[in-house]
Amino acid sequence: MRDIAVISFAQTPARRSVPELNEVEMLMPAVHGALEQVDMTIDDIGFTCSGSTDYLAGTAFSFVSTLDSVGPWPPIQESHVEMDGAWALYEAWVKLQLGEIDTALVYAYAKSSPGDLPMVLTRQLDPITVGPLWADSVSLAALQARSLLDSGKATEADMAEVVARSRKDALGNPNAQLAWDRSAEDILAEEYHIAPLRKSDCAPITDGAAAIVLAAGDVARSKVKRPAWIRGIDHRVEPIHLGLRDLTISASTSIAAGKAGVADGKVDIAELHAPFSHQELILKEAIGLGDDTTINPSGGALAANAMMTAGLIRIGEVATRISNGEADRGVAHATSGPCLQQNLVTVLEGEN
Amino acid sequence: MPEIQLPASLQDVEAVRSVRTPARLDYTFTPGDATSRFLAGITQKKIIGQQANPDSRVYVPARGADPELGAATPIEVEVAQVGTVTSFCVVNLQFYGSGMEIPYTSALILLDGADLSIMHLIQEIPADQVRIGMRVEAVWRDDADIEPTLESIKWFRPTGEPDDVNVRIPGEIRGTGLGSWVGGVAPTELTVRNPRTGEGGTAEFGGEG
């Protein structure tokens, strides 16, 4: 395996709505920021890969026009995934493994504000049996939370603790959208939104963008003092039919974590892409994280959850903390689909 | 295929052979900065192009980023309301949502001072007389009906000037149509000059030098 590292990460401040900019205008500061931090231009990049979906803003082929943000002329090597940018990063990582190129740019963005997000997300469900029911994303997450509570593996108080800790940590994240200091008891006193979920258990709806630069071996070392090396990366998918899955666990995350080698060393920090509080509890168990791991120091998806982007941001948040010396080894998780259907796990490590 | 055993209650029921699952999603669209500035110009009956720097391409309408430089386009440049047809098609089919009488002509029009063609209608000339190189001018709605939409220009019509038969979309050095593809070969660093570095596109490989 070739050594590949995250050498740069940039994101736009998460906001509920960015109506004054179109998608490429919102994205550009992230792409330009990631390149400028390592003194690179698109002409230094061997491969560009993006993650987004046109359904969010309802703009056909928006992923083509947003490519203008990088300056794709003369024609560049480029690809797009209708997935979170974490999967775009995976594709770039595979491309780098082939050895033909040394650098890659990965970006992701979402403007969810023009549409009704929980309704838009019904379009990713099985189109014959579940999609026509318009089962919205929050209701499906509530079904999962109910399963978890009924299994006895967690309580509503456990969920409230996740919420309280995440939003408090988000106070230290200048890009967070939702940040506050409230006790778990205070959160439990809230009315249900879609039982057993309270509004506070749910991620906010976010407009935002992020970008990462990857580099191989000596190129990475020449650009930054402490590259965040990708030691393992794996992704797995579960059946589209929710009834075929045990929603109280995340089997795909467990397999991905095993393949990525999470257990091969100490995990200082983990950024888990859990848009609903109970999902962090499921993921912590699935990855096998102990209490000595700091989870979601950025506040996680409960602080900001730009669709197609929040998974890539998890990788960026871990990489940043490794590069600045706060952590030596960390795990980043990304999810896509209803109730943690698809999961990607990345293990990142710094050199001393 | 394994044989499927239906419960008794379903055995005499007609099989489902297809389902229709209609879907509709509503969006509140906002045009963003570049398009808002373009449309603000339209309400003044001005066609405003945008560029990233004083030497770079002028885009009409601008979409927010210069694809050659990967940069925002803050500089506004008013372009002419007269231009040249770079390509066109004659529409002979009526389709939903179109109030146009067929046949009519949709064309790409390179306005004088712009580096990108806009798509618009050609009228006041029979469809079979529209041609590449024809000079055309904008015909606006009545002042009272001007709105922030490109439809405030009703259509373009011939100016009567001589054709510009050598019209080229800037950057497409071998003419219009399939851009810089030649003989089935995609544009590469050898044939296309890199607008950021100035490298490539040498005459040796048929580039612009």
Query: Is B187's CB within 8 Å of A57's CB?
Result: no
Give chain B positions within 8 Å (CB) of A28: 64-65, 70-72
Do residues B120 and B186 share a domain? Answer: no
User: How confident is the model at residue B200, as a pLDDT?
Assistant: 73
Strands A207-216 and A192-194: unpaired
Q: What average pLDDT score do residues A185-209 get?
A: 98
Q: Of how many residues is chain A composed?
A: 352
Query: Is A74's CB within 8 Å of B200's CB?
Result: yes
Using a pLDDT cut of 90, give the percent of chain A over it: 95
User: How confident is the model at residue B174, as a pLDDT?
Assistant: 47
Within a domain: residue B164? no
Distance, in Å, from the CA atom of A3 to the CA atom of A6, rounded to the nearest integer, reads 10
Q: What average pLDDT score do residues A274-296 get?
A: 98
Q: How many CA atoms lie within 13 A of B197 on its CB side?
A: 15
User: How confident is the model at residue B58, as a pLDDT?
Assistant: 94
A4-116+205-228: CATH class: alpha beta
Report the domain count for chain B.
2
Do residues B107 and B143 share a domain? Answer: yes
Q: Is the pLDDT of residue B176 over 90?
A: no
Q: Is B26 on the interface with A (CB under 8 A)?
A: yes
Distance, in Å, from the CA atom of A293 to the CA atom of A290, rounded to the nearest integer, reads 6
Within a domain: residue B62? yes
Contact B122, B101 (CB under 8 A): no
Distance, in Å, from the CA atom of B135 to the CA atom of A152, rounded to the nearest integer, reads 76
Within a domain: residue B15? no
Q: Is B49 on the interface with A (CB under 8 A)?
A: no
Distance, in Å, from the CA atom of B135 to the CA atom of B163, rounded to the nearest integer, reads 6
Read off the pLDDT of residues B88-135 as tens digits, 9 standing for 90 and up: 999 998 877 777 888 999 999 999 999 999 999 999 999 999 999 999
Do residues B152 and B185 share a domain? Answer: no
Of A20, A43, A114, the CB nearest to B27: A114
User: How confident is the model at residue B99, as a pLDDT?
Assistant: 76
Do residues B46 and B125 share a domain? Answer: yes
Q: Is B68 on the interface with A (CB under 8 A)?
A: yes
Q: What is the ipTM of this complex?
A: 0.89
Q: Is the pLDDT of residue A44 over 90?
A: yes
Q: What average pLDDT score do residues B75-94 get?
A: 94
Query: Is A70's CB within 8 Å of B189's CB?
Result: no
Residue keyed to tokens 């056909």? A60
Q: Is the pLDDT of residue B61 over 50?
A: yes
Q: Is the pLDDT of residue B191 over 70?
A: no
Within a domain: residue B165? no
Distance from CA of A116 to the nearest CA of B (A): 8
| Range name among A193-197, A290-294, B166-170 with the lowest pLDDT average | B166-170
Nearest to A62 by CA among A51, A53, A49, A74: A53
Q: Is B29 on the interface with A (CB under 8 A)?
A: yes
Within a domain: residue B163? no
Query: Is B27's CB within 8 Å of A57's CB?
Result: yes
Round to the nearest angstrom and report the end-to-end CA distance of chain A: 20
User: CA separation (Å) from B124 to A93, B111, B138, B155, B163?
Assistant: 56, 18, 11, 9, 17
Contact B112, B83 (CB under 8 A): yes
Query: Does the global pTM surpass 0.95?
Result: no
Q: What average pLDDT score do residues A191-210 get?
A: 98
Alpha helices in B28-172 (DSSP H): 32-43
Distance, in Å, from the CA atom of A161 to the CA atom of A147, rounded to the nearest integer, reads 19
Within a domain: residue B8? no
Work out how many CB contacts closer than 8 A connect A with B.
Answer: 107
Nearest to A91 by CA among A77, A101, A75, A80: A80
Q: Is B64 on the interface with A (CB under 8 A)?
A: yes
Query: Is B67's CB within 8 Å of A32's CB?
Result: no
Q: Is the pLDDT of residue B184 over 70?
A: no
Tokens, residue A173: 């994240």
Query: Is A42's CB within 8 Å of B70's CB?
Result: yes
Give chain A positions within 8 Å (CB) of B20: none
| Of residues A175 and B13, more confidently modeled | A175
Do residues B175 and B124 share a domain? Answer: no
Query: What is the DSSP track for A18-48?
Result: -TTS-HHHHHHHHHHHHHHHTT--GGG-SEE
Q: What average pLDDT score do residues A67-74 get?
A: 91
Do residues B123 and B152 share a domain? Answer: yes
Contact A322, A330 (CB under 8 A): yes
A121-A127-A132 Cα angle (round to 5): 75
| Of residues A184 and B99, more confidently modeled | A184
| Range name among A126-135, A290-299, B133-142 with the lowest pLDDT average | A126-135
Q: Is the pLDDT of residue B182 over 80?
A: no
Residues of chain A with CATH 3.40.47.10: 4-116+205-228, 118-199+231-349
User: How confident is the model at residue B94, as a pLDDT?
Assistant: 82
Query: Is A75's CB within 8 Å of B19's CB?
Result: no
Do residues B108 and B183 share a domain? Answer: no
Do residues B111 and B142 share a domain? Answer: yes
Does 3.40.47.10 match the CATH number of domain A118-199+231-349?
yes
Domain that holds residue B62: 34-158
User: How confident is the model at residue B5, as a pLDDT?
Assistant: 82
